[in-house]
């Protein structure tokens, strides 16, 4: 990822949160960062993603509940599904994005032959031999969940990042919410504005955009660290 990264925050005037909720959101973000500071800082440093972006996604996805599981099978703090976690790691390996620090991290959870199987799966995209590695306990693990969730964000940010380093976060949000290869991610890619995209996605996803980058959006509330 290029060093220059410009995160666009208040991209739309529409609001989801009321003015009186800002202090409550700020307090909750402080609690999340305080509790998971070590995990968040590591993920931030190794993936070159600002701390506030990670904390904001945790806030929206799980409100800091590391044991939550959605009906769609999304786990933990960053609400990762097993397919998303697997695809994220394989995409990182396949696209030669794995740094020495990434490899050191992955070796903690996939030592020795397990890591070699990940590399082989990245070549063939046959995930059958590695699916068993991704247990519920692993998916709920805060260190793993935050790191791989941030790795996924890094991939999406690189995908949508403009030439001057500006990141249209409303597009990243839609892709994170719906999946890298979803039809809504394709719509986001060709979208010309947040309002244009909001009109084309489901209400839940539109609200997600407003929650993060709307007026009073979580991503704009940074006075908590």
- Burial per residue of 79-93, b for 16 or more beta-carbon CB atoms within 10 angstroms, e otherwise: bbbbebbbbbbbbbb
Asked if residues 19 and 215 have their Cβ atoms less than 8 Å apart, the reply is no
Asked if residues 147 and 105 have their Cβ atoms less than 8 Å apart, the reply is yes
**Domain residue ranges of the chain, discontinuous segments joined by +:** 6-220
The 8 Å CB, 24+ separation contacts for 155-163 are: 155/88, 155/91, 155/92, 155/97, 155/180, 156/180, 157/1, 157/5, 157/49, 158/1, 160/188, 160/189, 161/2, 161/5
- How much of the chain exceeds pLDDT 70, in percent? 97
Render each residue's pLDDT in the chain as its tens digit; 225 residues: 445 678 877 788 889 999 999 999 999 999 999 999 999 999 999 999 999 999 999 999 999 999 999 999 999 999 999 999 999 999 999 999 999 999 999 999 999 999 999 999 999 989 999 999 999 999 999 999 999 999 999 999 999 999 888 999 999 999 999 888 889 999 999 998 889 999 999 999 999 999 999 999 999 887 666
pLDDT value at position 5?
A: 78
pLDDT value at position 10?
A: 79
pLDDT value at position 8?
A: 76
Provide the mean pLDDT of the chain.
93
What's the rounded Cα separation, in Å, for the pair 15 and 6?
22
Residue 7's SS3 state is: strand
pLDDT value at position 1?
A: 41
At the top level of CATH, the class of 6-220 is mainly alpha
pLDDT value at position 57?
A: 97
> What letter would DSSP give residue 182?
S
Q: Whole-model pTM?
A: 0.94
What's the rounded Cα separation, in Å, for the pair 97 and 89?
10
For residue 139, what are its two tokens? Answer: 């998916």
pLDDT value at position 11?
A: 84
């Amino acid at each position: 990822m290029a060093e220059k990264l410009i995160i666009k925050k208040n991209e739309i005037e529409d609001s989801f949160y009321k003015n009186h909720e800002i202090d409550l959101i700020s307090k909750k973000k402080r609690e999340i960062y305080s509790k998971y500071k070590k995990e968040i800082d590591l993920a931030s440093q190794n993936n070159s993603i600002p701390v506030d972006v990670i904390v904001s996604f945790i806030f929206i996805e799980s409100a800091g509940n590391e044991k939550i599981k959605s009906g769609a099978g999304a786990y933990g703090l960053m609400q990762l599904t097993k397919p998303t976690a697997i695809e994220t790691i394989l995409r990182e390996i396949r696209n030669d994005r794995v740094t020495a620090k990434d490899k050191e991290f992955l070796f903690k959870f996939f030592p020795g032959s397990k890591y070699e199987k990940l590399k082989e799966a990245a070549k063939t995209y046959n995930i059958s031999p590695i699916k068993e590695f991704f247990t519920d306990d692993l998916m709920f693990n805060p260190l793993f969940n935050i790191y791989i969730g941030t790795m996924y964000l890094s991939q999406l940010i690189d995908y949508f990042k403009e030439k001057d380093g500006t990141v249209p976060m409303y597009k990243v949000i839609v892709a994170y919410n719906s999946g890298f290869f979803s039809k809504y991610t394709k719509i986001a890619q060709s979208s010309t504005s947040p309002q244009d995209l909001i009109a084309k996605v489901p209400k839940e996803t539109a609200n997600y955009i407003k929650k993060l980058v709307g007026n009073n959006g979580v991503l704009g509330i940074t006075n908590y660290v």
